[in-house]
Structure 1
């Protein structure tokens, strides 16, 4: 998955809404789209696409688009606490995206974007064994989102576009060497919103 392309699109979208730039358009048909539009994962190009309501409805059924486009789900599930230390998380805020080939990529938001590394396959299997709900995470379009920073214990299954929104938020709000005074309240607001939509 090319997180950089999806991230760049989300940042442009966020900036456009703040400055009143031209409205966003559907990547399939070119129609104007609402701020809360759905996303498709293009398996051929490995990137996220913005979709208007009419186009997103075409991909609701599994197998639509012959597997080329996959509609990003909307479910958000709070999980019990998971021991993520064996997954190699160097920071308290990270997300894990399983891929169709069985591998898992991990990412953490930073002021430069999403830093990525590969998760040890055995460590991921052990995490799934302790939390069987992780076995149902849809490859490429859902993620395990973890926030253990500041003594928090948030573990979620979320749509992958939520993760890219979080990366964009960190880039936008980060100030100085440690993030500044706006970063953590913004992250807390993000997780408050997650709880309200779960």
Structure 2
């Protein structure tokens, strides 16, 4: 995600007019619930208006340059991610088109990224078969086990960047302060399944 797109997500967390975000393709205004495209070459999200998003509903519409971020959200049973080397309780995992898996965790400076061990990822998928259905680049396994939480979801990648923006916005001091974890809990409480 570019710094401009991330800044728009952060600003979007505040109360704004619904049409304040411009479409990154045509410049028209978008609504608060606008869709996103993933630019495969630049590895970033783009905000798009409804007419532009409809152009990318069919796979291959842009010869693979852009992928429409799906809206699917699926709550999963507990997923054993310890073997993936997650140093914190809040993280997300994205399978790339080449089969590699990148792991990210939100921090006050943005998302920290590292490559997950391929064999460990295969073991996680074997224990949780729905993870085999993750769409490359645009869906993620989002995990929150911080402070005894037990949240495991397949989510669109834009949900993951929303939690990154939330952590950046709410973090105070060295340990996060008193606002960040209640805000994270509220984020997960508001997630709803969407097939």
**Structure 2 length normalisation: TM-score?**
0.93
**8 A Cα contact 1:73 1:141, kept in partner:** yes
Cα distance in 1 for residues equivalent to 2:10 and 2:142: 21
> Which of the residues 169, 173, 176 maps onto 1:172?
169
Structure 2 residue matching 1:146: 3-state secondary structure: strand
Cα distance in 2 for residues equivalent to 1:109 and 1:44: 23
Q: Does 1:123 align with 2:117?
A: no
Cα distance in 1 for residues equivalent to 2:8 and 2:141: 25
Q: Does 1:46 align with 2:46?
A: no
Per the alignment, residue 140 of structure 1 pairs with 137
**8 A Cα contact 2:104 2:113, kept in partner:** yes
Q: Does 1:18 align with 2:8?
A: no
> Which of the residues 72, 85, 89 maps onto 2:86?
89
Cα distance in 2 for residues equivalent to 1:148 and 1:63: 36
> Which of the residues 178, 188, 194 maps onto 1:191?
188
Q: Kindly provide the CA deviation profile for residues 72-95 of structure 1, in whole angstroms up to 9, marking residues without a partner as x.
A: 000000011111100110000000
Gaps of 5+ in 1: none
Cα distance in 1 for residues equivalent to 2:59 and 2:194: 24
Cα distance in 1 for residues equivalent to 2:47 and 2:93: 22
Q: Does 1:70 align with 2:67?
A: yes
**Structure 1 length normalisation: TM-score?**
0.92
Shift of 1:13: 4.0
Cα distance in 1 for residues equivalent to 2:148 and 2:12: 34
Per the alignment, residue 109 of structure 1 pairs with 106
Cα distance in 2 for residues equivalent to 1:20 and 1:133: 36
Cα distance in 1 for residues equivalent to 2:192 and 2:30: 25
Gaps of 5+ in 2: none
Greater share of helix: 1
After TM superposition, the runs of 4+ consecutive aligned structure 1 residues lying more than 6 A away are none
> Which of the residues 26, 30, 34 maps onto 1:33?
30
Shift of 1:19: 7.5
Q: Kindly provide the CA deviation profile for residues 90-110 of structure 1, in whole angstroms up to 9, marking residues without a partner as x.
A: 000000000000000000001
Q: How has the CA–CA distance of structure 1 residues 8 and 148 changed in structure 2, closer, same or farther, with 3 Å as cutoff?
A: farther
Moved more, 13-22 or 118-127: 13-22
Shift of 1:14: 3.3
Moved more, 18-27 or 136-145: 18-27
Structure 1 residue matching 2:178: 3-state secondary structure: coil
